[in-house]
Amino acid sequence: MRWLEKLMSPHEVRTDSGPSITDPTPQTIPPTSAANKHVCEYLSYYLDLAHAPRFAVLLSGPWGVGKTHLLKAFLKSRFGDEANAYVYVSLYGLSNLNEIDDALFQAVYPMLTGMPAKIAGRVGTAALKWAKFDADQFSLKDFASRFKAKLYVFDDLERCDAKPDKVLGYINQFVEHGDAKVIVLANEKEISDRENYDRRREKLIGKTLEVRSEFEAAFGHFAENIDHPDTRSFIQASAADIAKIYDLSELNNLRILQQTLWDFERFHASLLPEYKANNDAILTLMRLIFVLSFEFKAGRIAEADIRSGRGMHAMVLARLNKEEQKSAIEVVADRYPIVDVNDNILSNELLVDFLVRGTVDANAINAEIKASSFFITVADEPSWRTVWHWLERSDAEFENALAKMEQQFAERAFVGEGELLHVLGLRLFLSDRGILPVSRPEIVEQGKIYIDDLYETKKLLIRRFDDITEIRFSGWDGLGIHENEAPDFKELFSYLTLALKRTAEDNFAIQANIVLSEMKKDAQKFLRRLCWTSDGSEQQIREPVLAKLDVAEFVEAMVGLHPQEQRIAMMALKGRYEGAVLDRELADEKLWIIDVRDALLARSETLKPIAKYRIQKLVEWNLKAAEAAVEKAKPLSSTDVSEPEGA
């Protein structure tokens, strides 16, 4: 039976469960580079031994250094397609010795993988019978003596959930009783319970080989396999820069290198051609992204460090505040002296989105690069931005920009909340340094007068309520706002947001009349504008604007609609008030809608019988949510009638 003979043949099989387990670095990295020549030479010597060595070889190295793929490449060059030569088992995620039994057996007999039947947690009964083992007497000694594989490989020791000393004891049976040659792969720095592990290790491991990073071979392969042609060319041309950054990182982690290359490919592909053409700008971007990516992926910096600790502004403030301990970003800056980790070509917010969340927003990326010093001159730069960049501008440029900013402040030229918050923060910052001869309390008072003037002259931009709550006080337009954590700045921020809310509220009456006009002309559009479940074809009115409508006027408009339009308009009110919104964002409409309900019922009494009945039922079916939200809601006076199907 050929199928059974095939079944009985040992095979090399990965026993991991998916891509999160396997090393993502390609398996074609040659093992002949100088970095790991010692590993390949010793393994060749070990496998050539004519007698049983009675010890195992340990390949050690940090996560991502390329242990697995170095060994895979070596075995490929050593054995070629001789599948019977060795058995390869990953210990990743295995929780006990019984599971290792199963993994080992399935590695030798891949066609039996997945058999569910177990004997006391051991290998499946059917599998043992097929392999002609006695299920009650199955032992590793019998297993190892029957299968004369030239080598057994146990990978991912540190990622096995079973106790490492127990696993080494398990592996030792192959060495002592099976006369087998064994290679173990592990990152020993991650192994716990070192006392027991070291005692067992001393008995089993006869040689430890430290695997070193194969940067040149790995980088060449990674770069060649970048899909985007422009990015591939740039990466290959930047090999020396990337090699230096990789060396300075001291991570020796090829996985992080490849992941960073993949990330940079997405970023680089989003750039406009005119920005890619500026080699200095792209090199600056690449260096910054690679450094921060290495550090973030290695866990040496966190999101908060990128968001608030990066930038010359943060560094200067730390020194001014005489902070003794270096921040995480300052440590990074010391680690990579050839890279300016505080370069503002990209904002902290964008870097967080890209490095932490994996977001590649091409519009935002290109806008920030366009506004960087590589593509904009001081003459074209808004005055407040030049002042913000005081560390990188000449005295004359700074002084001219400050004078212009102060003139624009006096003329109330800053009307957008983002640039205004920057100006307010800068004025507080400059006051502390004596550059503006005005005290901080005076700066705050001047800021409030400025905001009042914008409100009175209706220069403040009208914002939706939900947009106002999204205004950031920490940064805008790719730059962090000075003094944003200071109490007096937060006072100004609150003052501005209140003025913006008043501006929005002042506009409610205008919006309400527009909505009423829409209801009279197109009830479907009225529904889309008011209902929280609209299809988004029109901007929804999510503020309590209806409270500004005259109740009697609204009721007359409703009564004057065609019955089909009445039904749609009333459905709009029903949809608007579902989900307890009358207790939250639409609380100001709570009394208004009850007044509308009462006025509609009163008005129905003046109508013909069928029209009266129709209005009453529409009120009953569509305003229940509004009634429930108001404790003093009056009971409906109409006769109880069940809502028809489909109403």
Q: Which has the higher per-residue pLDDT, 441 or 540?
A: 441
Q: Which domains does the chain have, with CATH numbers?
A: 2-212 (3.40.50.300), 216-376 (no CATH), 380-506 (no CATH), 508-629 (no CATH)
User: Which is nearest to 23 in space by CA: 58, 62, 76?
Assistant: 62
Residue 312 clears pLDDT 90, i.e. is over it:
no
Task: List 186's β-bridge partners, or say none.
Answer: 60
Rounded Cα gap, residues 461 and 454, in angstroms: 9
pLDDT tens-digit series, residues 393-408: 899 999 999 999 999 9
**Residue 161: what are its φ and ψ, rounded to 5°?**
-80, -15
Residue 98: both structure tokens together: 């019984």
Cβ 574 vs Cβ 623: under 8 Å: yes
Asked if the model's pLDDT at residue 86 lies above 90, the reply is no
Residue 379 binned pLDDT confidence (cut-offs 50, 70, 90)? confident
Please state the rounded mean pLDDT for residues 87-112: 81
What is the reported pTM? 0.55
d(Cα 78, Cα 95) in Å, to the nearest integer? 32
C-alpha distances (whole Å) from 389 to each of 114, 281, 435 are 63, 18, 15
Closest CA to 171 of 196, 152, 145, 146: 152
Residue range 210-236: mean pLDDT, rounded: 89
Of the segments 217-221, 230-234, 621-625, which one has the largest average pLDDT value? 230-234
State the pLDDT confidence band at 131, using cuts at 50, 70 and 90. Answer: low
* C-beta atoms surrounding 242 within 10 Å: 22
Distances (CA, A) of 1 to 40, 108, 129, 134: 40, 18, 16, 21
Mean pLDDT value of segment 452-465: 82
Whole-number pLDDT of residue 293: 96
Q: Which residue, among 288, 312, 307, 277, has the nearest Cα to 391 in the 3D structure? A: 312
The answer, yes or no, to whether residue 31 has pLDDT greater than 70, is: no
Would you state the pLDDT for residue 623? Answer: 86
Residue 578: per-residue pLDDT: 82
Greatest Cα pair distance, the chain, in angstroms, is 110
Q: Give the per-residue pLDDT at 321.
A: 56
Residues 105 and 124: their CA atoms lie apart, in Å, by: 9
Q: Span 506-519, mean pLDDT?
A: 88
Torsion angle, CA of 336/340/343/348, rounded to 10 degrees?
A: 10
Instruction: Answer yes or no: is pLDDT of 316 > 70.
Output: no
Tokens representing residue 617 in the block? 């039922």
Q: What percent of the chain has pLDDT over 70?
A: 80
Phi, psi of 389 (to 5 degrees): -90, 35
pLDDT band at 629 (very low <50, low <70, confident <90, very high): low
- Name the band, by pLDDT with cuts 50, 70 and 90, for residue 106: confident
Euclidean distance between CA atoms 465 and 497, whole angstroms:
10
Mean pLDDT of 484-497: 92
The mean predicted confidence, pLDDT, of the chain is: 82
- Using alpha carbons only, what angle is made at residue 29 by residues 24 and 35, rounded to the nearest 5 degrees? 110
Q: Is the dihedral of CA 364, 369, 375, 376 positive or negative?
A: positive
pLDDT above 70: residue 140: no
pLDDT digits (tens, 9 = 90+) for 337-347: 999 998 889 98
Report pLDDT for 539: 64
Residue 15 pLDDT class (50, 70, 90 cuts):
very low
For residue 647, the model assigns a pLDDT of 42
Q: What average pLDDT score do residues 81-89 get?
A: 79
**Signed CA dihedral, 6, 8, 11, 15: sign only:** positive
The string of DSSP codes covering 474-511 is SEETTEEPTTTTSHHHHHHHHHHHHHHHHHHHHTHHHH
- Please, which pLDDT band fits residue 192 given cuts at 50, 70 and 90? confident
Contacts of 439 (CB under 8 A, 6+ apart): 431
